[in-house]
Amino acid sequence: MPVRYLSWIITIPIALVIVSFAVSNRDAVELALWPLPFSITVPIYVAVLTTLVLGFLAGGFVAWSADRKHRVAARVRGRKAQQLERDLAREREQRTVAERRVAEAAQTLAAANTPMLDNDAARRAPLAQIGTTAQAR
C-alpha cells in the first residue's frame, strides 16, 4: 500500500473528529490573561484547536532544537567526507602522473640501454676469441 493512501487513512478520521468537535462546541468563551487589562471572546473550538496547534508547533520546535547537535555533527562529517574525496582525487591524479613518468623513464632507459648492449656484446666477442685462442695454446 503506498504511503499516500496510508496518510489519507490517518488524515480523514482526524479531520472528521476535528470537524465534529468544532460543530459540537460553538459556544462562546471569554479568554483573559490576568495581568493584562483586555479579554477576547471566541468559540470554544477555536480556543481548543488553537491551543492544540500551538502545542504541536512548540513540540516540533523542541524536537528540532534537541536534534541540533546531530545536525551539526552530520554537517561536519559531510564536510570532512568532501575534503577526503578531494584529497583522494588529487592523490589519484598524482599517482597517474607518477606512473606516466615512470613508464616514460623506463622507455627512455630501455632505448638508451639497447645500443649499449649491442656495443657491449661486440666488445666482448674479441675477448671471447682471445680466451679461446689462449686455451688452445
Which of the 8 DSSP states describes residue 41?
A: E
- Position 77 pLDDT exceeds 90: yes
pLDDT reported for residue 114 = 72
Cell numbers that stand for 20 in this block: 465534529
Alpha-carbon distances of 41 from 22, 34, 44, rounded to whole Å: 16, 15, 9
- pLDDT band of 82, cuts 50, 70, 90: very high
Which of the 8 DSSP states describes residue 42?
A: E
Give 29's contacts (C-beta < 8 A, 6+ positions apart): 41, 42, 43, 44, 47
pLDDT reported for residue 60 = 95
φ, ψ for residue 38, nearest 5 deg = -115, 165
Cell numbers that stand for 31 in this block: 479568554
**Grid cell 462562546 in the structure block, residue:** 28
Residue type, 8: W
- pLDDT band of 93, cuts 50, 70, 90: very high
pLDDT digits (tens, 9 = 90+) for 32-57: 988 899 999 999 999 999 999 999 99
Inter-residue contact 39 to 30 (CB < 8 Å): yes
pLDDT reported for residue 124 = 57
pLDDT reported for residue 116 = 53
Alpha helices in the chain (DSSP H): 3-24, 44-66, 68-136
pLDDT digits (tens, 9 = 90+) for 101-122: 999 999 998 888 775 555 555 5
